[in-house]
C-alpha cells in the first residue's frame, strides 16, 4: 500500500538514494534537505515534493514542521536521516553545540511538533543512527553539548547514542498510541559524509580514495531505511529497537538500553528547546487541519 514518506537529509547520500528507491516503489516521497539547489534537483529527478530546512537553526525546523503538518494530513513514515560529524566545538544561533543540535535536538523538535499527525497516521518514525554510538558515545546528561569534554568523534558518538535513546523513549511514550519508532545503522557508506569534519579517523575512513573503494554504496546504505519504511512494525521488526543489517544489534553501547537515561534525555531535550524558544514551556505542536 502506498505511503506518504518524509525523509530529512535527502538532498544527497543515503537519504537521496532512499527517496529514489521509495518513489520507484510507488510511495509519495517528500524530500527535505538543507541545500535548496541539491534538494530541488533530487526531488525534480523523481517528481517529488521538496522542502528546505537548516537544522542549525531551530526556527527553520519549526517552519518545516508547520509546513509538513498543514500540507500532509497523513504522514506514514518520518525518516529522521539528517545529520553529520563536524569539527571543533561550535555553537549554533540557538546556543547549542552544532553536532548535538543537527543530529538530535532538531529531529527531536521536528518529531515532537508533528506528534498529532504522526499519532493520527499511526506512523513509523525512523532514526538514522550509527555504530559511532558504540565506538565513541559516553553520554553525560549534565553535559550534552560536551562543553567540558569535546572532540568531533565523541560529539558525534553521543549524538548517535541520543538517536537510539530517543527511539527507545518515543516507543515508551507513544507506542501505545500508534507510533512505531526504530533506529538503524546504515553501514560505513561511500558518500559525502564527514566532508566537513576535522576528525582524522573520520576523514581517513570516508575521504581516502583507497579506503572508499571498499565502502558500501549509498543504495546499500539506504536498504534498511527502505526496508523499515515499507514493512510492518511488530511483525517484520520490533519497535523501540536499534538495527544493524536488518537485525537487532547485539554489539551495542550499554547506555543505549538504559530506560532511565532515555527518559532523562527526553526531559532534558524538552527543557533545552523550551529555553531556546523563550517560551518557558514545552514545544507546542502545530495546529493541524481537521480530517
Which helix (DSSP H) or strand (DSSP E) does residue 77 occupy? strand 77-80
Q: What is the C-alpha R_g of the chain?
A: 17
Closest CA to 136 of 116, 113, 152: 152
Number of other CB atoms surrounding residue 244 within 10 Å = 20
Taking only the tens place, the pLDDT of each residue in 70-108 is 999 999 999 999 999 899 999 999 999 999 999 999 999
Taking only the tens place, the pLDDT of each residue in 34-63 is 999 999 999 999 999 999 999 999 999 999
Catalytic residue of the set 156, 174, 206, 242: 156
Q: Please report, in tens digits, the pLDDT of each residue of the chain (291 residues total).
A: 899 999 999 999 999 999 999 999 999 999 999 999 999 999 999 999 999 999 999 999 999 999 999 999 999 999 999 999 899 999 999 999 999 999 999 999 999 999 999 999 999 999 999 999 999 999 999 999 999 999 999 999 999 999 999 999 999 999 999 999 999 998 765 445 444 555 555 545 545 454 444 445 778 889 999 999 999 999 999 999 999 999 999 999 999 999 999 999 999 999 999 998 764 434 444 434 433
Number of other CB atoms surrounding residue 185 within 10 Å = 21
**Are residues 35 and 9 in contact, defined by beta-carbon separation less than 8 angstroms?**
no
Distance CA 229, CA 23 (A): 12
Cell numbers for 290: 481537521
206 is catalytic: no
Question: Would you state the pLDDT for residue 278?
Answer: 65
Side by side, the strands of the sheet bearing 180-185 are: 49-52, 28-33, 4-7, 77-80, 124-128, 180-185, 242-244, 247-248
Amino acid at each position: 500500500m502506498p505511503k506518504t514518506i518524509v525523509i530529512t537529509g535527502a538532498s544527497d547520500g543515503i537519504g537521496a538514494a532512499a527517496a529514489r528507491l521509495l518513489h520507484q516503489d510507488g510511495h509519495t516521497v517528500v524530500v527535505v534537505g538543507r541545500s535548496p539547489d541539491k534538494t530541488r534537483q533530487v526531488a525534480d529527478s523523481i517528481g517529488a515534493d521538496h522542502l528546505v530546512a537548516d537544522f542549525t537553526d531551530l526556527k527553520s525546523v519549526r517552519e518545516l514542521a508547520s509546513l509538513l503538518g498543514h500540507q500532509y494530513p497523513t504522514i506514514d513514515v518520518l525518516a529522521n536521516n539528517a545529520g553529520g560529524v563536524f569539527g571543533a566545538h561550535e555553537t549554533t544561533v540557538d546556543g547549542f553545540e552544532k553536532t548535538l543540535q543537527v543530529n538530535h535536538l532538531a529531529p527531536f523538535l521536528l518529531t515532537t511538533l508533528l506528534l498529532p499527525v504522526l499519532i493520527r497516521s499511526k506512523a513509523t518514525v525512523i532514526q538514522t543512527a550509527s555504530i559511532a554510538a558504540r565506538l565513541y558515545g559516553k553520554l553525560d546528561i549534565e553535559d550534552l553539548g560536551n562543553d567540558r569534554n569535546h572532540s568531533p568523534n565523541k560529539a558525534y558518538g553521543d549524538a548517535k547514542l541520543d538517536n537510539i535513546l530517543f527511539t527507545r523513549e518515543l516507543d515508551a511514550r507513544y507506542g501505545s498510541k500508534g507510533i512505531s519508532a526504530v533506529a538503524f545503522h546504515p553501514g560505513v557508506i561511500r558518500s559525502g559524509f564527514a566532508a566537513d569534519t576535522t576528525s582524522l579517523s573520520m576523514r581517513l575512513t570516508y575521504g581516502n580514495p583507497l579506503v572508499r573503494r571498499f565502502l558500501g554504496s549509498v543504495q546499500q546504505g539506504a536498504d534498511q531505511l527502505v526496508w523499515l519504511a515499507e514493512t510492518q512494525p511488530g511483525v517484520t521488526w520490533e519497535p523501540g529497537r536499534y538495527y544493524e543489517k536488518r537485525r537487532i544489534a547485539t554489539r551495542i553501547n550499554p547506555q543505549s538500553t538504559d530506560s532511565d537515561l532515555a527518559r532523562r534525555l527526553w526531559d532534558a531535550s524538552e527543557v533545552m528547546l523550551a529555553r531556546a524558544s523563550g517560551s518557558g514551556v514545552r514545544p507546542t505542536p502545530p495546529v493541524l487541519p481537521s480530517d
